[in-house]
Structure 1
Amino acid sequence: MAALPHGTNPRSMGHAQKSEKKMQAKLRKGDRVRHSTRTDWGLGEVLADQTADRVRIMFEEVGLKELDLAMAKFTSVEGEEAQSDHLTALVALQLAPSKGRPSNGGKPSKTISFKKAVENFLSYFPQGFHDPAYLSGRQGERGYKVLAGDQLRDRLGKDVLEQLIEAGAFKEIGERAKAVINKTNLVFQQEKIGLGNSLSTHENQQAFAEALNCLLYGGESVQHRFERFSNMLDKIGAAKWPIATYFLFIMCPETEVFIKPEVTKFAADMLQIDINYRPEPNWLTYRCGLTLFETLKARLIKEGRAQLVPRDMIDVQSFIWVTAPTYTEN
């Protein structure tokens, strides 16, 4: 038996070889891997046996990737290093039967470049995000959203919401939440009606109130709070993307985003970003939506024009809405 190099710990060397070793010739479904150079992608799981030189892998940090094995190299990961509840959940979501389209399918028929989108936005609002018509008025895209946030903080602020929950005023909380939604045109009328119908029972009213409190003011991670709120909406029959993302967006427009499916997919196509879209509200799509909004914000800043520098995600959302093919002046 050959001697080990001086200073080598045989036990640690054996553990390293067991936990992370060179990839075998063929990738199999369920293998946990890391990209040899893109370590920022995190841990990945192979979704299906490789076909020829192609493989589909779900990564913790960037979602689903289809890769050419002639270009991408991997190392396998085993043991404790292969454990990730988050990745397990992402894979289960990806492989689960979907009630609708599993990807960015159903894109609007017209796809435009980012440059054309900027031109379209400025055709409506020549002064960009500082245009008086953009800020308020019949065509306004910003003012009423800011006011909705003010109303949410006033009528369902942390202390107020806590007091209402302690008093068992769950119906009142639902009424106030619906009133905030009605301050904007972000949610379609049928979705508003659907939420109202779902909040017709005391049980659903309580579930909504407690999950909303957790969403807005809970101390857990955004992922935990978002998933709890989305699961609650699913249970009461109101799981729509606009409802799932409205309150966080209005309350925290500096960091959170609003997802209206078709226009968001249009923006994702424009920037060639895979948002891993599924019709059921889920954390992976939301996290990819955050990346989309952040990328678009950075692109607008890079334009170098002061009137196109977004203040927050309200401006980014408005840009997405105005530049989509479905936009018409109010």
Structure 2
Amino acid sequence: MPTRNAPTEWELELAPATFRKLLARGEFRAICDAAVRVESRSGLLFSFERMALRDAVKTPAGARLFATELHAFLYGPGPQQRRFNDWLEALADLPQKGSPVLTWPVATVFGFIARPDRHMFFKPRATRRAAQRYGYALAYQSKPSWPLYQTC
């Protein structure tokens, strides 16, 4: 059963100060493990998306890229657009074994869990259906992008 306390669990595992300390110590694997653990309890990603993410952060380089760019996306300075675009680029650059890591759900799940007051979770099929029912003209594109994210 998905937890309703994912933001609370995130705060316990990867609060901004804790996240910064782990980054400073180079504990990228610990950050990835915590992020994936909290997400897996939420039940927001499909199993193939979660597996693609786990595979992508298995290597030290993948773990470092994921951890540093996730922190920058969630807590870094600068405009949200730049941070989101950098996050998408990092996800695209992660190693891939099978399924792509750069999908709408993976790109948006951690922002939604860590900072639900600022970020939304984008599940394409459900979001498109909701937009259609409410008469909202959603210019959907399968590739995650800032222009679509900011309009939702």
- Give the TM-score, by structure 1 length: 0.43
Query: Structure 2: how far apart are the matches of 1:270 and 1:225?
Result: 31
1:245 aligns with one of 95, 108, 128: 108
For 1:159, the aligned partner's letter is A
Q: 2 CA distance for matches of 1:188 and 1:281?
A: 17
Equivalent position SS for 1:182: helix
Q: Is this contact kept in 2: 1:215–1:229, CA < 8 A?
A: yes
Alignment match, 1:272: 135
Instruction: From 84, 89, 114, give the equivalent of 1:226.
Output: 84
Which structure is higher in strand share?
Answer: 1
Work out which of the two has the higher radius of gyration on C-alpha atoms and give 1 or 2: 1
Residue matched to 1:156: 14
* Structure 2: 5+ residue stretches without partners: none
Distance in 2 between residues matched to 1:213 and 1:252, nearest whole Å:
12
Written as runs of structure 1 = structure 2, the 5 A alignment for 1:38-187 is 144-145=3-4, 147-187=5-45
SS of 1:244's equivalent in the other structure is helix
Letter in 2 for 1:155: E
**Structure 1 residue identity aligned to 2:102:** A
For 2:53 and 2:118, locate their aligned partners in 1 and report how far apart those are by CA, in whole Å. 25
User: Does the Cα contact within 8 Å between 1:230 and 1:244 map onto a contact in 2?
Assistant: yes
Kindly state the Cα deviation for residue 254 of structure 1 after the two structures are TM-superposed: 2.5
Q: How many residues align?
A: 147
Taking only aligned residues, the RMSD between alpha carbons, in angstroms, comes to 1.4
Alignment pair present for 1:258 and 2:121: yes
Aligned-residue sequence identity (percent) comes to: 28
In the alignment, the residues of structure 1 paired with residue 113 and residue 139 of structure 2 have an alpha-carbon distance, to the nearest angstrom, of: 24
Which runs of 5 or more residues in structure 1 are unaligned?
A: 1-137, 290-330
Structure with bigger helix share is: 2
SS at match of 2:35: helix
Q: CA deviation at 1:185?
A: 1.4
Q: What letter matches 2:27 in structure 1?
A: A
Contact 1:164 1:170 (8 Å CA) reproduced = yes
**Structure 2 Cα separation of the partners of residues 252 and 175 of structure 1:** 19
Q: Which has the higher contact order (CA 8 A, sep 6+)?
A: 2
Q: Deviations over 1:11-31 (max 9, x none)?
A: xxxxxxxxxxxxxxxxxxxxx
